[in-house]
Amino acid sequence: MTAARKTLGISRAAAPKADARAGFNVTGARLETLKERAREQRRHPTEAQKALWAELSGSRLGGVRFMRQSVVGSVIADFACPSRWIVVSLSPEGANPEVDALQDKKLTDVGIRVLRFGEADVLADTDAVVKAINAEVNQPFDKRAARRGPAANAPVPTFEDAEV
């Protein structure tokens, strides 16, 4: 018996929230629904998830622990590494890129690094995907700087930079 995957859409009427953390944490019935959906996805993983989990499970990747089908804020992450603030997401064939981008933005806005791969890429070259994940796991990361965004990391303009 295969589990049917629900697809999500984006409402054009919804305005972005001013505080990224306001829409990130969920509680109550929504949280229980996400947890049950994550359990169901753990019970019935895709072939790409099975292949990647074989490489990430048991702290095989540099001693770093990954969890599969984990609820991270309002998103179900395929693989999450809480100690390094990394989420690995797999996009199935025909996935809605707008939904993927929205989920990635929710996570990056609160300081979580997101790596997204297509399921076909994982099945075709699992080693390359694992190398990319390993490179990100071993890269230094400042969560506070990531929360401030790219503008906070930009150099401060000086007098010489100004046009006369």
Measured distance CA(69)–CA(81) in Å, rounded:
11
DSSP 113: E
DSSP 17: P
Does an H or E element contain 90, and which? strand 86-91
Query: What CATH number is associated with residue 92?
Result: 3.40.960.10
For residue 71, is it within any domain?
yes
- Give the range of the structural domain holding residue 124, as residue numbers without chain letter: 46-147
pLDDT in tens, 68-124: 999 988 889 999 998 889 999 999 888 889 999 999 998 998 889 999 999 999 999
Give ∠ CA 33-111-30 in degrees, rounded to 5: 10
pTM: 0.72
pLDDT in tens, 11-49: 444 444 555 555 566 778 888 999 999 999 999 999 999
For residue 95, is it within any domain?
yes
Hey, what amino acid is at 15?
A
For residue 88, is it within any domain?
yes
For residue 23, is it within any domain?
no
For residue 37, is it within any domain?
no
For residue 4, is it within any domain?
no
Q: Work out how many domains the chain is built from and give that number.
A: 1
